[in-house]
Structure 1
């Protein structure tokens, strides 16, 4: 058997046939560099979101699923051995759930499907790893409990993997994210919100995201996924040698402050056993989060769900310290000498209509997002401001409810030192 090899050679032919002069080679390289620089701006942006990245999570099922059942049976034929193996898997799965002793026919009546994970069918033998799904309506009276279980608030899952000196989430299809995507979360009281990682999600949910502390940033992220808080299950893989044992250290973290909840270690004997280790790690990680939920530690952070309540309390405490008597006197009486008070009153005419203004602002990093939101929310007359389009490294857009319209908003931002362009329902601000 022969292999076809391309006739192109990266080196000039030393015999002289087909040789390339240095001058010609220089022209080729220079032209390639110019074309590469010209397309860099577009191709680099497209390359950040194209390709196979995320893995869509399995839809949660209300049924009861038991995975990892291993069977090794024999029969007169391969088909008979296979059917016998399925029946054996059903009994083993029922025993694993802690169900009472029942005839095989009764157990079979409660099985809705059998999931084939791995199987080998021979002339008289059947070896397989199977999963068994029991219908919850029929089996819940025996296993799983009939009472309702209190579930947690929706929690965004960011599975971070450290492997080979590189940290990743959705940049490539990794084994840790795959294990979370394939996890059947119907039986757990923790309400996991598992992104697929496709499209722009891979730009927002990165390995550096758990290190952020900005509440404004986290509110924006959680709002896009309808989540109340965040979970960061982290996995670190260490390989002894290529194809050899793989040691995994798994840590459960939670919340915008990256709070530590617990950790454990597992080891796979080879690279082929890595998926099984990851599946086992997800189940144990779910156990840590269940225990934290039972202890009351998975309550959503009030700074993420309470809106501006903490800020209002801080201002109230500040007024208590600055104003005499601890009360809230009328502004003209308490501070007659402050020139800003009359100006603020005149800038907010009574009965001014509330208009919606789209504000475009450059956001090279997360700090720019916070600065832009803080500046707009600090303008008198602003009743609400939230980002509707987030683009780190580009131009983001926030939607502002302003009493008095865009002209009053633009003049107030100019007074803060912002450069404002545009008019009407859309304006652009920059430093």
Structure 2
């Protein structure tokens, strides 16, 4: 091989090694596992002693007492409180020769402490709610495109104490491609059904944070808004301010707690019920078509018209095939999805075929080829024939077919 050829090959290999995949990199932070124990965060201690280790132990004991009071516990000896503590969470600490300064979290064993705080009974919870934390700063919106303080705060939030059942994605793999800052602006119920189905959620919550920096290294103003549902419905808003970048994480943690309070209030008022259009399937749509067909049938009332141009075109006669008794088969349907509208169109077309018992996407690839799994009476040949009648191009046979416009 010539020297020039070797150089070209080396540059080609180096170039490929520098091409990261679209979903590579640190996209988000995995949420903490919900614990049934009672956790109290944000306890500040400042203690001195003969040694740094003694000051640290003294600070931990003080944090336990402070956390117990913050949780609403009755007056008890420090030894009794210590017996109910399962662990200490170190959020931030500085240990000196004689001094200990820290911000701590204290976790109490629920089996021991619930008789005094938190209630002993099971807490009624909402339906599973998908959380899409949208951060706006510097004129740019983000969710999982890169690691941010807002998603981090939601990942570190101990949600077991809340009646709202938060489903918090980490942004790993393809999640960062599906859950973007533009997703809350979509209104398509078919699209939302597909997204929520992948996360086993019933509805969606959109907490939004907008950060404004006064000057580099200076105060940071945060405006936080709680929204929910596929229509991005407004619930409430509030503002906080951090003195510097070092205080940003603490402000975000406080903002998550206040946003959770807004969602709690909405749940208590009955506003966080899952949208019926996200889980009712085609029932509501079929009922509307049934009413429309009843009006168009002979003998039904027809709207009055003023001239010939207003005369409605009669609907085509739809021949339905009797598929009762025909065994159902499960097949995979591949379809090109350049955008969300293509997903809706393909799902609507397949679900509209007589004999289809169910159709749901099992692989979603916007800008590529998606796959849906369809249960249909009569198998792939009957489904392919019906789709061709709707103007679709169908290829393949057996357990897998491909459709396109």
**If the length of structure 1 is used for normalisation, what is the TM-score?**
0.85
Match of 1:277 among 251, 261, 265: 251
| Structure 2 residue 379 is the aligned partner of structure 1 residue 405 | yes
Counterparts in 2 of 1:215 and 1:349: CA distance versus 1, 3 Å: closer
Match of 1:112 among 79, 86, 96: 86
Match of 2:73 in 1: 99
Match of 2:365 in 1: 391
Counterparts in 2 of 1:273 and 1:384: CA distance versus 1, 3 Å: same
Shift of 1:272: 1.0
Shift of 1:291: 0.3
Is the Cα contact below 8 Å between 1:364 and 1:394 reproduced in 2?
yes
| Structure 2 residue 357 is the aligned partner of structure 1 residue 368 | no
| Structure 2 residue 229 is the aligned partner of structure 1 residue 245 | no
| Structure 2 residue 157 is the aligned partner of structure 1 residue 183 | yes
Shift of 1:353: 2.3
Matches within 5 A, 1:276-425: 276-323=250-297, 340-341=317-318, 343-345=319-321, 348=322, 350-425=324-399
C-alpha distance in 2, partners of 1:190/1:338?
A: 47
Match of 1:195 in 2: 169
| Structure 2 residue 164 is the aligned partner of structure 1 residue 164 | no
Match of 1:256 among 216, 220, 230: 230
C-alpha distance in 1, partners of 2:393/2:403?
A: 5
Match of 1:125 in 2: 99
Match of 1:22 in 2: none
C-alpha distance in 1, partners of 2:328/2:88?
A: 59
| Structure 2 residue 85 is the aligned partner of structure 1 residue 84 | no
Match of 2:309 in 1: none
Larger Rg: 1
| Structure 2 residue 244 is the aligned partner of structure 1 residue 233 | no
Match of 2:179 among 200, 205, 229: 205
Is the Cα contact below 8 Å between 1:99 and 1:142 reproduced in 2?
yes
Is the Cα contact below 8 Å between 2:363 and 2:372 reproduced in 1?
yes
Is the Cα contact below 8 Å between 1:319 and 1:326 reproduced in 2?
no
Deviation string for 1:304-323 (max 9, x for gaps)?
11122211221232234234
C-alpha distance in 2, partners of 1:353/1:245?
A: 67
Q: CA RMSD in A?
A: 2.3
Shift of 1:326: 7.0
| Structure 2 residue 66 is the aligned partner of structure 1 residue 74 | no
Counterparts in 2 of 1:89 and 1:377: CA distance versus 1, 3 Å: same
The number of equivalent residue pairs is: 386
Deviation string for 1:143-190 (max 9, x for gaps)?
112233211000000001011111110111111000000000111100
Counterparts in 2 of 1:293 and 1:326: CA distance versus 1, 3 Å: farther
Shift of 1:380: 2.0
Match of 2:31 among 57, 66, 73: 57
Is the Cα contact below 8 Å between 1:110 and 1:139 reproduced in 2?
yes
Deviation string for 1:264-292 (max 9, x for gaps)?
01110101111111000000000000000
Is the Cα contact below 8 Å between 2:323 and 2:355 reproduced in 1?
no
C-alpha distance in 2, partners of 1:134/1:357?
A: 51
Q: What secondary structure, in the 3-state scheme, does the structure 2 residue paired with 1:47 have?
A: coil
Shift of 1:371: 0.5
C-alpha distance in 1, partners of 2:97/2:364?
A: 59
| Gap runs ≥5 in structure 1 | 1-26, 328-336
Shift of 1:379: 1.7
C-alpha distance in 1, partners of 2:195/2:361?
A: 10
C-alpha distance in 2, partners of 1:39/1:280?
A: 44
Is the Cα contact below 8 Å between 2:333 and 2:371 reproduced in 1?
yes
Shift of 1:241: 1.0
| Structure 2 residue 198 is the aligned partner of structure 1 residue 224 | yes
